[in-house]
Amino acid sequence: MKKTTIALTILLLTGCAAGTSQDDGMTTGKTPGAGIIRPTNAGEARMLISQAQTSGNPDSIIYAFNQALAFAEFDKSDVYLSIAGLERQRNNNGKAEQAYRQALSHNPERGDVREALGLLLVDMKRHDEAEQLFHEIVAADRLRLGQAEAVDPAHCVADARSPWRSYNALGLLADIIERGREARQYYQCALAIAPGSATVYSNLGFSYYLDGEYPKAERAFTRAVNQQPDYQRAWSNLGLLYFRWGRQQEALQAMRKIMTQAEALNDLGYIALMEGEYSLASGLFQRAIDASPSYYPRAVENLEQAKTMSAISRR
């Protein structure tokens, strides 16, 4: 079966909106207010943080949290977690990793920080490191529940406090290396902990899709969009599934939940193009052009590409 590349979704765990560091190289060097506003006590530091958050300027917020590190009243692990969250939002993965590790240096038992670091490592394609960290998180949880330390996805032992994001991420990593059955066991464990997670249902559906189990994939994607009707990734995955299943009208209807008619036709055309179905792709691109109320350069370019690739394939 041909597999169209669509990113599996995991719910990123971020801190509150903040940042921190004393003199550890994590500041930007051009942070607004740097060297001007220096709180002399924890109360002033809190006021600075509040003012920075009101401004919405990430650099200012990070600077404010950096200043807070000088005062014992602040939990340094919390502050570093906040910094990491801001750096993740700005795609500064290196600085985010540094902040997470700083948080763990102050409190190595923070499971939420370890989990957030693992999710970051997945995004950074450092899959082996991430997998080891998630296994450690799950093993620690199993010990909390009085179970054997070894992680066995086929025998889920968990309660409401268990790390569903770690199980979800382990499923994602298993799918990446084409261990679909194992991945789905991890997803089912995540759902046992967080039964309303649209993210996990979407990942479960995509796992079934990758193995050609379309009816099961449809049920999982449908659960995802029922749980979260505005979940774009799940609607996109459902549209992809229907298109590969030969149910083009339903694919278009699913895509229309999150985009215009012209955009949906263009996206479906691009899927067909990547699958080597050049005639079908050309027809969809032309429909996208006709459906657009204004000039649609992307669809025009895609149509030309489809015609070119079709001509090459006939040589």
Q: Encode pLDDT of 57-96 as tens digits.
A: 999 999 999 999 999 999 999 999 999 999 999 999 999 9
What is the pTM (predicted TM-score) of this model? 0.81
Cα–Cα separations (whole angstroms), residue 309 to 250, 286, 301, 303:
27, 16, 12, 10
pLDDT at 4: 44
SS3 for the chain is: CCCCCCCCCCCCCCCCCCCCCCCCCCCCCCCCCCCCCCCCCHHHHHHHHHHHHHHCCHHHHHHHHHHHCCCCCCCHHHHHHHHHHHHHHCCCHHHHHHHHHHHHHHCCCCHHHHHHHHHHHHHCCCHHHHHHHHHHHHHHHHHHCCCCCCCCCCCCCCCCCCCHHHHHHHHHHHHHCCCHHHHHHHHHHHHHHCCCCHHHHHHHHHHHHHCCCHHHHHHHHHHHHHHCCCCHHHHHHHHHHHHHCCCHHHHHHHHCCCCCHHHHHHHHHHHHHHCCCHHHHHHHHHHHHHHCCCCCHHHHHHHHHHHHHHHHHCC
Instruction: List domains and CATH numbers for the chain.
Output: 1-112 (1.25.40.10), 259-315 (1.25.40)
pLDDT at 149: 66
pLDDT at 212: 96
Low-confidence ranges of the chain (pLDDT < 50): 1-35
